[in-house]
A and B are shown apart, each in its own frame.
Chain A
Amino acid sequence: MAKKVAFMQGNEAAAHGALYAGCNFFGGYPITPSTEVSEVLSIELPKIGGKFIQMEDEIGAMAACLGASLAGSKVLTSTSGPGLSLKQELIGYGCIAEIPCVVFNVMRGGPSTGMPTGPSQSDVMCAKWGTHGDHATIALMPASVQECYDMVAEAFNLSEKYRMPVHVLPDEIIAHMRERIEFREPGEIEIIPRKAPTVPPEQYKPYDTSFGDVPPLADFGSGYRFHVTGLNKMQDGFPTTKAEIVQAEEERQVRKVNACIDDIVTFEEYMLDDAEVVVVAYGSTSRSARYAVNVAREQGIKAGMFRIKTFWPFPDKQIKALAAKVKGFIIPEMNLGMCSIELERCAQGKVPVLGIFRVDGEPINPEQIVEKIKEVK
């Protein structure tokens, strides 16, 4: 049978990717440029017995998602700009209480109301550090409409596998752009279910590390009763201030991701075999970079691209390996140098990191990147 194809926006594709992954709850509050995600799900979720709820604001929306997830739903929220700021407290709650959820955040200009219809890539640090305290972060960067679909499905898998909030961060260009996409067949992308308890309710502890760094999570309403709090907690979920427990739990919650970086991190290498100048790019900017690399190659310059697909955890290993063999990095981004900081850290002064930073609401065009490639000697 021919695959179902459609011509649609990144936002619409994200909604369909969520449905593919088994999303059955959406809690949100509409905001440009992410509203189409909720539009699609408000139509589609009721058809499959799922729930769509528009809350009074983004804080309530995020809270609704966490509650629904604890009751066993697979949950998505979408937002943008100031909406992400509002969600931060509850995202932190999801981190410490270890509640799977997917946050689809379309990056627009900021801070505050900024430029609601303009593209940006300025939330990459907010995804990581927007909520306070130490915590692990997973953030994926789609660069096409198909990837909005696929990466949202993958984000659900990661959120269930590691029991935590996972961010998908398209910029406005990717979210609003339209391309042909293929809907995935059942089984084409493996769907990872939540790890359920294997012990009876009276023996169940929600943070029982004897099952590993990612303890099984019981569904509320299924007979398992447990305590959930934003406070530091013991294995049974009740609060504690015991130093050794707090230390061990905080470390585990970061380790559960850091120990699996190779399993989580995805990237694309384009013409890197003999590359001397490497453009590191993500999201829509990587499309400009690919164009620029092709132009540079036509002019005899050995350029290549490393495309970041998983921004968090950052692909340290790959960037460090490149830093040992290339002449320089170019980093085009629609912010004032956020990924650049990470590149500098990984390059450790071995090679120059040249940035092209744009926050005027215009995309970075390939010509700008070609010019910068030529600056690397």
Chain B
Amino acid sequence: MSRYELRFSGAGGQGLITAGIIMAKAASIYEGKQAVQSQSYGPEARGGASKSEVIISDGPIDYPKVTQCDALLAMTQEAANKYSHDLKEGGVLLIDSDLVTNIPAGNFKTVAFPIINTAKNDVGREIVANIVALGAMVALTGQVSRENAEKAVLSSVPEAFIELNRTAFSMGFDKALAASA
């Protein structure tokens, strides 16, 4: 059975849990696959380590946590150091090139671009950095179609911010493809 494991990791407050939820929702509600999202975080509202895990499969999912990661997003150096060793051979690591400067080595593909700065400067709001990252993860993993992922994004955000998030998602998707080419 196909079991695809994703981990969104970084610091509390970066919106990684939300990004994981939207990825899983895209797979489970819009793509017709099965998906489970889980998370772990500390007691702090911001800061501290945070991670969100998503398992996507064609069939029922038993263990809801990552065993061997297919795709990892690391939004802090600490997360990159801590989790890159769990990556499968041939897996993919996405990092924010401004925040993760000491790039972990391994038998996986690393894709880097300035995720937070893309949100801040190109999209116009730093707060959508998680959606930029999500767009990039959708492009790099191929587990859900661009259309279904976009539907999941737009159904998860308040109406007033639909265009902002649409732009963030597209920007992340395109930049990841360009950076991995």
Contacts and interface: CB of A to CB of B under 8 A. Distances in A.
B108 interface: no
Interface in B59-104: 61-65, 67
A363 interface: yes
B155 to A, nearest CB: 10
Contacts of A287: 61-64
A117 B28 contact: no
A73 to B, nearest CB: 33
Contact of A7 (B24, B42, B62, B65): B24
Nearest to A289: B62
A118 B39 CA distance: 10
A5 B64 contact: no
B21 A178 contact: yes
A116, A176, A179, A294: most-surrounded residue (chain B CB, <10 A): A179
A288 B65 CA distance: 9
A32, A116, A291: most-surrounded residue (chain B CB, <10 A): A291
B180 interface: no
A291 B61 CA distance: 9
B107 interface: no
B42 A117 contact: yes
B63 A117 contact: no
B2 to A, nearest CB: 14
Nearest to A293: B62
Given A177-B37, A178-B36, A179-B35, A7 B28 contact: yes
Interface string B31-44: 00011111111110
B39 A176 contact: yes
Contacts of B28: 7, 179-180
Contacts of A117: 40-43
A284 B64 contact: yes
A308 to B, nearest CB: 16
A130 B65 CA distance: 31
Interface in B113-143: none
B29 A7 contact: yes
B175 interface: no
Chain A interface, DSSP helix/strand/loop, else mixed: mixed
Interface in A245-289: 284, 287-288
A116 B35 CA distance: 26
Interface string A348-377: 000000000000000101110000000000
B7 interface: no
B34, B37, B39, B63: most-surrounded residue (chain A CB, <10 A): B63
A179 B20 CA distance: 12
B51 interface: no
Nearest to B155: A7
B39 A367 contact: no
Contacts of A205: none
A290 interface: yes
Interface in B2-49: 21, 24-25, 28-29, 34-43
B25 A291 contact: no
A366 B38 contact: no
Contacts of A116: 43
A179 B29 CA distance: 10
A180 B21 CA distance: 11
B134 to A, nearest CB: 15
22 contacts: A5-B29, A7-B21, A7-B25, A7-B28, A7-B35, A116-B43, A117-B40, A173-B38, A173-B64, A176-B39, A178-B21, A178-B37, A179-B36, A180-B29, A180-B35, A288-B62, A290-B62, A291-B63, A291-B67, A294-B62, A363-B65, A365-B67
Interface of A: 5, 7, 32, 116-118, 173, 176-180, 284, 287-288, 290-291, 294, 363, 365-367
